[in-house]
Amino acid sequence: MKIRLYNATILDLNSGYDIRTGEVIVSDGLIEKVIYDKDKVSYTEVPDREINCHGNLLMRGFNNAHTHSAMTFLRSLADDKPTPLWLKEDIFPNEAKLTDDDIADFQKLAIMEYVSGGTVSAMDMYLRPDVTARVFADAGMRAVIVSGLNDFTSSLEQLQDEYKRLNALDPLISYMVGFHAEYTCSREKLQRLSEIAHVLKCPVFCHLSETRSEVEECITRNGSTPLKFLDMLGMFDNGGGIYHGVHLTDEEINIAADKGIHVVINSGSNCKLASGIAPLKKLFDHKVKLALGTDGPASNNSLNMFKEMYLTSVLCKLAEDDAACMDASFILDMAIKGSASCMGLEDSGLIAPGKPADIVMMDLNKPNMQPLNNIVKNIVYAGSVSNVIMTMVAGKILYMNGEFDLGFDPEEMIARCNTRTKRIVSGSI
Q: 53-75 pLDDT, tens per residue? A: 999 999 999 999 999 999 999 99
Q: In the prediction, which pLDDT does 38 show?
A: 87
- Kindly list the distances between the CA atom of residue 49 and the CA atoms of 2, 3, 5, 52, 177, in Å, as whole numbers in the listed order: 7, 5, 9, 10, 40
What is the 8-class DSSP label of residue 113? H
Torsion angles phi and psi, residue 329, rounded to 5: -60, -35
Whether the predicted pLDDT of 429 surpasses 70: no
CB-based contacts of 29: which residues, under 8 Å, 6+ apart? 356, 357, 394, 395, 396
Tell me what the mean pLDDT of segment 45-58 comes to.
96
pLDDT tens for 191-205 read: 999 999 999 999 999
pLDDT tens for 322-364 read: 999 999 999 999 999 999 999 999 877 889 999 999 999 999 9
Q: In the prediction, which pLDDT does 330 show?
A: 96
Q: In the prediction, which pLDDT does 86 show?
A: 82
CA distance 65 to 342: 7
The DSSP secondary structure of 88-106, one letter per residue, reads: IIIIHHHHTT--HHHHHHH
Question: End-to-end CA distance of the chain, in Å?
Answer: 45
pLDDT band, residue 287 (cuts 50/70/90): very high
Q: Exposure pattern of 325-349 as b/e (b: 16+ CB <10 Å)?
A: bbebebbbbbbbbbbbbbbebbbbb
CB 399 within 8 A of CB 391: yes
Q: In the prediction, which pLDDT does 40 show?
A: 82
Whether the predicted pLDDT of 95 surpasses 90: yes
Q: Which of 286, 287, 291, 279 is nearest to 338 (CA)?
A: 291
CB-based contacts of 178: which residues, under 8 Å, 6+ apart? 125, 146, 147, 148, 149, 204, 205, 206, 240
CA distance 142 to 358: 9
CA distance 20 to 247: 41
Q: Which of 270, 271, 253, 251 is nearest to 261 (CA)?
A: 253
User: Taking all residues of the chain, what is their mean pLDDT, rounded to a whole number?
Assistant: 95
pLDDT band, residue 373 (cuts 50/70/90): very high
Whether the predicted pLDDT of 306 surpasses 80: yes
Nearest-5° angle of CA 262, CA 85, CA 225?
A: 40
Q: In the prediction, which pLDDT does 314 show?
A: 98
Q: In the prediction, which pLDDT does 13 show?
A: 87
Tell me what the mean pLDDT of segment 34-38 comes to.
92
pTM as predicted: 0.97
What is the 8-class DSSP label of residue 373? S
Quote helix, strand, coil % in the chain, to nearest 5.
40, 25, 35
pLDDT band, residue 12 (cuts 50/70/90): confident
Whether the predicted pLDDT of 83 surpasses 80: no
Whether the predicted pLDDT of 428 surpasses 80: no
Tell me what the mean pLDDT of segment 110-139 comes to.
98
Alpha-carbon dihedral angle through residues 335, 337, 340, 346, given to the nearest 10 degrees: 150
Tell me what the mean pLDDT of segment 161-189 comes to.
98
* Residue 20 burial (CB count, 10 A): 14
CB 30 within 8 A of CB 76: no
Point out the least confidently predicted range of 47-61, 69-83, 99-113, 388-402: 69-83
pLDDT band, residue 77 (cuts 50/70/90): confident
Beta strand residue intervals within 226-316, DSSP E? 240-244, 261-265, 289-292
CA distance 376 to 184: 40
CA distance 240 to 88: 28
Q: In the prediction, which pLDDT does 359 show?
A: 98
Question: What residue ranges define each of the domains in the chain, with the CATH number in brackets?
Answer: 2-60+347-404 (2.30.40.10), 62-342 (3.20.20.140)
- Amino acid of residue 226: P
Tell me what the mean pLDDT of segment 393-397 comes to.
98
Q: In the prediction, which pLDDT does 15 show?
A: 63
Tell me what the mean pLDDT of segment 219-239 comes to.
98
